[in-house]
Amino acid sequence: MEAGSVWVAWFRDEVLQGDIMFLNPNGNSHLGIGKSATLASLCRDGVWSLPNARSDNQLQFLMFLTTFQLQEGEDYYEWELQGRISNKYSTGEVYRLLRGEFPVVPWKNIVWSTGSIPRHSFLTWLYVLYRCPTRDRILSWGLQTDPTCLLCSTVPESRNHLLFNCSFSFAVWGLLSRRCSLQALADWDQIILQLTNLRTGKLHRRLVIIAWQATIYAIWTERNSRLHRSVFRSTDSIAMSIITQVKNRISSFRSTNPALSSKLMQIWLSTE
């Protein structure tokens, strides 16, 4: 601890223990120890050279400094998590510790899928957790709103209705599912089960997930467009925009993995 900062030492041993001592409301200038001072600069040949204390708090601080036994070498930090000591700080490990351990959910791989468009994955995650502000949820919060679906104008809006019990959204998903060589299902729970247990090639499965998430995003976007801007699109127009979006996503892999991009594009174009 020869070249260690005095203030780092004080913060580590006192503040982090919860014993926060305000040495002086005006800072450390009245203490007579510079902000950049080191322990080694205050102790020569085993003798401490410290200014006189001007308060009880400063006296405690100076007494605290004299308890240090200086050693050769620079200061270094140690991070201890659950009994494991490391010289490196890991944000991920700290986050996992604060969050706690939970079992892996069965839908993990169809939500956080490799290659998916991030904003699509995030919206899909909200849908899986039933956290999107659909009209049935808005009504459950005590707010007044028209419960009717904005896409078909016949049935009350809910997550399960939008995806894909609604005749409008199911027509869009039907077009995309045919492109994916997949049976189109209308029931939300059955779709989750179908995709979770999908036993096809790895690349085909990736395309199915990308197309499914893009469809969810497009349906939600269309719903909001009708609500906030009174702009309406047909099922064919929405399906074509999704198909283009999937192509663009495949093309985005070209710079990092040309072989993967080529294989995915061949699979996608083969179903036209």
Both 116 and 95 in a single domain?
A: no
Structural domain containing residue 122: 108-269
Question: What are the mean pLDDT values of the chain's consecutive 10-residue runs (272 residues total)?
Answer: 53 48 51 72 76 79 75 76 83 87 91 94 97 96 96 97 97 96 95 94 94 98 97 97 96 93 93 76
Both 66 and 191 in a single domain?
A: no
Three-state SS at 144: coil
Both 50 and 147 in a single domain?
A: no
Structurally, how many domains does the chain consist of?
Answer: 2
Both 237 and 261 in a single domain?
A: yes
Both 127 and 243 in a single domain?
A: yes
Q: Can you give the pLDDT at residue 22?
A: 47
Both 114 and 74 in a single domain?
A: no
Both 46 and 116 in a single domain?
A: no
Neighbour count for residue 247 (Cβ, 10 Å): 14
Both 122 and 143 in a single domain?
A: yes
Neighbour count for residue 7 (Cβ, 10 Å): 16
Burial letters for 83-101: b for 16+ Cβ neighbours within 10 Å, e otherwise? eeeeeeeeeeeeeeeeeee
Both 233 and 167 in a single domain?
A: yes
Both 50 and 161 in a single domain?
A: no
Both 229 and 130 in a single domain?
A: yes
Both 123 and 2 in a single domain?
A: no
